[in-house]
Structure 1
Amino acid sequence: MNFIQTGFLIGGLAVAIPVLVHLLSRWQVRRVELGTMRFLQEVMQDGAQRRKIRRWLLLLTRMATVAVLVLLFARPYLPETIRRDGDRLRVMLIDRSASMSMPGQGGRLIDDAVAKAKDVAAELGTDATILWAWFDSSVEPFDGNLARVSAPRSVVGDTNYLAALRWARDRVAADSDAIADVVLLSDLQQSGLASDALETATLQMPKHLPVRVIDVGRPAANNLAIQTVTTTSKRLSPERDTLINATLFNFGTLPMEEIPMTATATNGRRSVRLKKSINLPDGQAQELSFDFGKLEPGTWQVTVQLDVEDDLAVDNRRMTAFEIAQPAPVLVVDGGSRDGAQLAESFYLAAALRQTSRKPEQSVDAEQADDDGRQTTPRSGLFDPQVVFLYDDALPEIHPGRTELVVVTDCRSLPERWIQRLETYVSAGGKLLVFAGDGSNDGSGGASAASHAAWQQSGLAPGTIQTPMRSGAMPFRITSVDSANPMLSPFADPQSGDLGRLSFDQILPVRPDERTAVLARFEEDRPALTRHRLGQGDVVWFLSSADASWGNWTTSPLYLPLVHQMAGDLLDLTGEGKIRYRSVGDRRDLSTLPMAQRASSDPAALRTVSASTVDTESLTFGRIGFEQSGGALYVINSTAKESDPTRIPVEQFTEHFQITPADSGTSEVAETVQGEHKHELWPWFAAVAVVLLTAEFSLANRTSA
């Protein structure tokens, strides 16, 4: 018997009240000897025994009444065990990971699993409820009509037994009155397991829920796998040879000789194919390099493939991609004169951007002279800065297609007409990086006086620009950083660089607009680094100077990486960039999908679909290959852990997850399931309380003290 309101059981202490009343009543009795009453002694002794029995009955009745009232308020109930015809539930979990594509007895292993699942489902007849689901790295339920269940054509995901069993546990818990069991059909690949302690603590499968594990795997498998395909960088120079490194692993028990491999690189207009062969001992890995030579600029997609037949074909090819590009042209706009180039703001910025433009093995002797006699280096890095001095030179024509990034070294040094040209450039899709300054090097004799107003009117300013502020005894420091932003994510780890070490003697206060994202802040919540969109382009402001005039941060080791991060992020060279790597089963970023496709990606609409129309690509990456989405190229490969064919026995599987194994020889469930239905007993206790109160009233009137 259980209780709904267990707190009322404390009231059971009130049972002591009748006992106390009884004892106190006995102490108050005074015995007085009366001579005239002695003749009645014999008569009184005859009724004394009966009165003593009635007093004890009255005490017990009162104690029982108090106890029954306490139990009545506690609302006792009995949990019912329900077993009705047709109230049976079976959860069928079918593994559709990549290893299930291996050859089986009737086709593939997944075909064998589906055939066996139909037999097991038919054991319960037509009155039972059967929930069907595929599982790999995630679980996907489907309509389990026996006549229409068929294996999917493509199986490329990785195995996650914990996700499958957790899903089954939750489905059974949602229908707790049913007599349920779980059937899992898999090749029991060991790579689908994690640590014992982690999975057992996370799962906590009920002991009364039996799980039948059916092994449809192969006793042994022969598999060669391409584990990785890598390049030195996502962005490569056209002046260097392009090398692709592929790592192979032989999971079989025999050595393989003269394994043919093909590597194909294509940019949509031209394809380059290379062939090689390799010898690979059993149980070992080796690396093979493909040299494609110098490739023309563009985005190249590479497929490395094994030209062999083994038990698992999904890992016989692997893809990668990279971009062949010249260093990004960066126009550095300096409002000063070329005569003071060594002291100008652009000197520090151009030097920082140019740090990556020289090959490591290249010496200063390799520098070449341009038409103006200035020393240059072959363009082979990320940025190719070109400095324009507005006091001496005219601002060249700028267009997003030719100039990928414009850097303004001093916002107050630009005349209003140049600000208007930058507005047109950014609105058309250009990228702009602006540093604060006092305009002392503009050479225009006061042209900077109205520059802040011109920036605000153009929409290029991050908000309302205020008067530059000087620090007092202590310099300004960056106190908070949005480390989740790709521009500043490298600085999340203090070992990579703590921006709080930078100090500034002067800053440009700004009250940001709602459209402006503040990526870093000085003390008192003052913006230090902002970013906002204008038209189709982006604008980033660093609210201190680019040189040493407002602080000595240019001499810090953090100056170079911070400048590179700001410029690189505007050019999509930070974070994942334009080329992104994914595995089959990874979830998509729905914000990059078109609105029509995003609407069709509602998870609720995909909960129950037929097996013949299983397609979760609108939510996850479901196919190996290349996919262009949201301005980025996604490279989708199978997960490397599916290549390992090592298996575990059923007994070890059940012990690993601490589940109750079902008897595979019978279709009946080993134990019934106790439902949560409560059969309340309060009407009976109420009736008993009425009877006890009546008895107490009767005994109290007939019993003297």
Structure 2
Amino acid sequence: MTFISPWFLLGLLGIAIPVYLHLYYRKTPVQKEFPSLRLIKLSVEFVARRKKIRNIILMTLRILTVVLVVMAMARPFLGSSASAAADAQAPSAFVVLLDNSMSMSSVDKGISAFNSARSKALELIDQMTENDRATVGFVNEPGRLGYSQLTWDKEALKKIISDSKISAGGTDLASSLLPALKLLSPLKTHKKAVFLITDMTESSWRPFLERYDIAETDKSIDLIVVPMGAQAVDNTAVTDLRVESPIVMTGKKTVVKAQIANYSKQAKKIRAVFAINGERKSERDLEVEANSEKETDFEVVFAQSGMNRIALSINSDALPADNERHAALRVFDPCKILIVKPENVPGAPENKEDLFVKFALNPLAKSKDNSFITESRSANELNNVDFKRYAALILINQRHLSADVLKRLSEYLMGGGNLITFLGDRTEPEWYNENLTDNLGSSYLLPARLFKRVGNAVSKSVYYRLTDLDLGHPAFNIFEKEENGDPSRARIYEFFQVKPNSSAIVLCRMSHGFPGIVEEKRGAGKSLLVTFSADTKWTNWPVRPTWLPFLHQTLISMITSKEATVKNIKSGMPVSITLMQKDAGKLKIVLPDETEISPSSNNGHKGVLHLTVTNTEQAGYYEIVSDRLGVLTAFAVNPPAAESRLEKINLREIPRFIPLKDEPGKRTVKDKVSVLRNGYDLSGISLIMLVLLAIAENFLANKPAKKRTE
């Protein structure tokens, strides 16, 4: 209990007055013996006993009257909160945390939960007095405080709240609640409180309660939660939209997978609309069972290469923000692969060492409806070839290459091209080391230096196997599943011993520990070295079932590795993108609402540009556009699927938090906050009891004598 005017408690000394008067006017009977008056004596004793009881009651009533008068003037407040137990004259310090996560955009009776929450936050800030300090924060993901310190500026805080917008992100209670507690803890002379205005979804509270022990937080800080939103809201949502194919080509059928969730107690009929670049491509009606999810596939053909925007939308409901999902997808034209085969020897049969590579990449030699279009040339046919027309170059068992070809190969690789080198019986290690590595300086081609040959492909008496496969690399991760085969079953009879460069990675080794396949990033491109042949002279791998998927996955990983497309972006999360400076020019970012902003960028080494996008609050499709080359890349921001679950958590499961419900027809939030901060004002009750006691005392003191002696 606290008192607004504690000095009035000195009035309790007035209790002595009725006690003194009671003792002063107490009559002491004079004893006289009259034997004949025995009956009168008994009557007098009876009356005296009754008067004594009455006088004690009167004295008690008068003492209580004095106490109530003092209490009414001292203005006592009684409450269970930490603020109510503090000094009544102490100023307040509090933090208002406003939930602006996606789930707060749910609409009930035409009013969104976020708009109602924003009004409540303004009401709380309005209660600041001139000595109070406060700040505001937001609990979307990632959460933040409006000011890192408490402030007296009420109007500035109200402006932050009024200007706040709903986010497409999830709820992160800890990211703003923990800094708020840290901000208030050092204050010793203030009434401290954190007001959390949220929709109480279980999906946001459950992880927080499992990770943090709220019961152990600073007990001098009141934790107050203001629940918002309807108790039960039916909701349907698009929770996933993806393409599982590692590469998407124009003219080829592509399967787009979508997942639709029904978070309600009854089955729902949902109409799903799939669109590419804003144009409807497919529509279908789906029935999704209660509290379940359903996956559906859309088979589409992309006609436009480059960045494509795909979207799936469903019919609107109480939470429209999750009724549409976006994805950014890079679509390629069929990739041209240049295979450089060994030159034919005069008088000898045509060299066909490229046969197994060509057949694996394009078995029917199609120019359409195939992922790769292959073209074979010998080394002396490369003089007028523009390497930039090809997604990758494959060198097979080359003896020598001209200085001009090597220079153009180096420029191609460092500029973003891809190079695969197979060795063989024509390979001269000294020439390779000197011309493909040493003479090119920092623009070298090979990821390793070559040494001697190991094994004997003629006798084939001894063979080696591929071991230590890097299953995390795209070239080999397809073989994590046993049904996709095992490259280690292939036999290698002869290979070159190599020493990888310091920045290279070994994708697999031979069974004796020597590197088998080595890869290194070179400038904006990649170079991969296979230490054995591409045909069956040195290995039987080209006739094994794992040969084709290895080549496909290797080329796909190379071609797509330099793409800046990013996936699974959370709202508010900074996005880092690496581009080639030569492609950049003047850049701009087009936001989902078609607003254009300038990105933050830093120039890296070797012509690389590092781009950072921080304004990712909106859900939708973002484009990075160059004034010279148009759309360079794009990405999509989507709300987290967990935000679509609107089930409420039971308030009893949340320790320490005091619920502050807004109940129509009852006390306003402002009144309830006042009670929490100061406690219940007992002065009014004291006055009422004082009046009742005065009436009772007056009645008892002036009770008629006749009734008194009966």
What TM bracket, shorter-length normalisation? 0.5 to 0.7
Q: How does 1:217-366 map to 2 (within 5 A)?
A: 217-231=229-243, 233=245, 235-241=247-253, 244=256, 246-252=258-264, 261-266=272-277, 271-276=279-284, 283=291, 295=303, 297-306=305-314, 308-337=315-344, 344-354=352-362
Q: Distance in 1 between matches of 2:515 and 2:298?
A: 52
Offset, 1:525 = 8.4
Equivalent position to 1:455, from 430, 436, 460: 436
**Number of residue-to-residue matches in the alignment:** 534
Which stretch has the larger CA shift, 617-626 or 404-413?
617-626
Q: How does 1:609-648 map to 2 (within 5 A)?
A: 618-619=613-614, 621-629=616-624, 631-648=632-649
Against the structure 1 CA distance between its residues 379 and 93, is the aligned structure 2 distance closer, same or farther, given a 3 Å change threshold?
Answer: same
Offset, 1:518 = 2.9
One-letter amino acid of the structure 2 residue matched with residue 455 of structure 1: L
Contiguous gaps of at least 5 residues in structure 2: 1-84, 148-153, 588-597, 603-611, 626-631, 661-671, 680-710
Partner of residue 54, structure 2: none
Quick check: 1:385 aligned with 2:404? Answer: no
RMSD: 4.6
Equivalent position to 1:90, from 81, 84, 94: 94
Q: Are the counterparts in 2 of residues 114 and 151 from structure 1 also a CA contact under 8 Å?
A: no
SS of match in other structure, 1:467? strand
Q: Distance in 2 between matches of 1:244 and 1:394?
A: 42
Partner of residue 410, structure 2: 423
CA offsets, 1:155-205, max 9 Å, x none? 211223344444444444566886533221101112214458732469964
One-letter amino acid of the structure 2 residue matched with residue 533 of structure 1: R
Q: Distance in 2 between matches of 1:481 and 1:175?
A: 59
Offset, 1:133 = 1.0
One-letter amino acid of the structure 1 residue matched with residue 373 of structure 2: D
Equivalent position to 1:590, from 560, 564, 576: 576
Against the structure 1 CA distance between its residues 647 and 619, is the aligned structure 2 distance closer, same or farther, given a 3 Å change threshold?
Answer: same
Q: Are the counterparts in 2 of residues 242 and 295 from structure 1 also a CA contact under 8 Å?
A: no
Offset, 1:428 = 4.8
Against the structure 1 CA distance between its residues 484 and 122, is the aligned structure 2 distance closer, same or farther, given a 3 Å change threshold?
Answer: farther
Q: Distance in 2 between matches of 1:464 and 1:220?
A: 63
One-letter amino acid of the structure 1 residue matched with residue 372 of structure 2: F
Equivalent position to 1:533, from 510, 514, 522: 522
SS of match in other structure, 2:554? helix
Partner of residue 146, structure 2: 142
Q: Distance in 2 between matches of 1:628 and 1:294?
A: 19
Partner of residue 651, structure 1: 652
Q: Are the counterparts in 2 of residues 86 and 128 from structure 1 also a CA contact under 8 Å?
A: no
Contiguous gaps of at least 5 residues in structure 1: 1-80, 358-366, 368-375, 441-446, 601-616, 671-705
One-letter amino acid of the structure 2 residue matched with residue 97 of structure 1: S
One-letter amino acid of the structure 2 residue matched with residue 213 of structure 1: V
Q: Normalising by the residue count of structure 2, what TM-score does the alignment of the two structures yield? A: 0.62
Q: Are the counterparts in 2 of residues 89 and 128 from structure 1 also a CA contact under 8 Å?
A: yes
Offset, 1:407 = 0.5
Quick check: 1:161 aligned with 2:142? Answer: no
SS of match in other structure, 1:590? strand
Offset, 1:212 = 0.9
Q: How does 1:460-499 map to 2 (within 5 A)?
A: 460-462=444-446, 465-470=449-454
Q: Distance in 1 between matches of 2:376 and 2:215?
A: 62
Partner of residue 567, structure 1: 555
Q: Distance in 2 between matches of 1:599 and 1:174?
A: 40
One-letter amino acid of the structure 2 residue matched with residue 333 of structure 1: V
Q: Are the counterparts in 2 of residues 298 and 325 from structure 1 also a CA contact under 8 Å?
A: yes
SS of match in other structure, 2:115? helix
One-letter amino acid of the structure 1 residue matched with residue 445 of structure 2: A
Offset, 1:115 = 1.8
Q: Are the counterparts in 1 of residues 243 and 256 from structure 2 also a CA contact under 8 Å?
A: yes
Q: Are the counterparts in 2 of residues 89 and 129 from structure 1 also a CA contact under 8 Å?
A: yes
Q: Are the counterparts in 2 of residues 412 and 448 from structure 1 also a CA contact under 8 Å?
A: no
Q: Distance in 1 between matches of 2:187 and 2:485?
A: 54
Offset, 1:220 = 3.2
SS of match in other structure, 1:529? strand
SS of match in other structure, 2:409? helix
